[in-house]
Structure 1
């Protein structure tokens, strides 16, 4: 199943409270319940003005639909081709 990186432009996300981040998470999960069970939100990284999310999904279109229905941006969606980490240096 393809894996995608989603870049969401959300000003001042670095200043969101824990409660606000929980609310965003709950909204995303609620919206996901109406989608194909193959769509999975794996994790997100919060920066000063963006949230970067990793999703598993059949295609980019379903990610765009999730963002639209959930009311959050999906400014850039990139198909992840491969992953590397420090253990690759030991190979």
Structure 2
């Protein structure tokens, strides 16, 4: 399955409570993504919480975009990527 980096901007910052409420909200994101055949692997959030770089597996950019819409998340850019690690298993 292809892998993608999804860049997002949250003008007011992304706020996810570090408690059970935040965990439940993230599980809802996972469930909605599954409706489009998309798997959220993890995300990187900037210190000001205004930008995220999210790693997803999914069938195509359209599915990633549809999942974002279900979750009411913005999408700035979707880029297909491959893994390059120190062991050079490209």
Q: TM-score range by the shorter chain?
A: 0.7 to 0.9
1:33-44 → structure 2 map (5 Å cutoff): 33-36=34-37, 39-44=38-43
> CA contact under 8 A between 2:9 and 2:52: conserved in structure 1?
yes
Residue 18 of structure 1: CA displacement? 1.7
Q: Does 1:76 align with 2:57?
A: no
Higher mean alpha-carbon deviation, 25-34 vs 47-56, is at 25-34
- 1:64 pairs with 2:72: no
Larger helix share, 1 or 2:
1
Equivalent residue number for residue 31 of structure 2: 30
TM-score, normalised with respect to structure 2: 0.74
RMSD of aligned Cα (Å): 2.1
Q: Alpha-carbon deviation of 1:16?
A: 5.1
Give the superposition deviation at 1:77: 0.6
Preserved CA contact (<8 Å) 2:16 2:22 = yes
Unaligned runs of 5+ in 2: none
CA distance in 2, matches of 1:7, 1:24: 20
TM-score by length of 1: 0.74
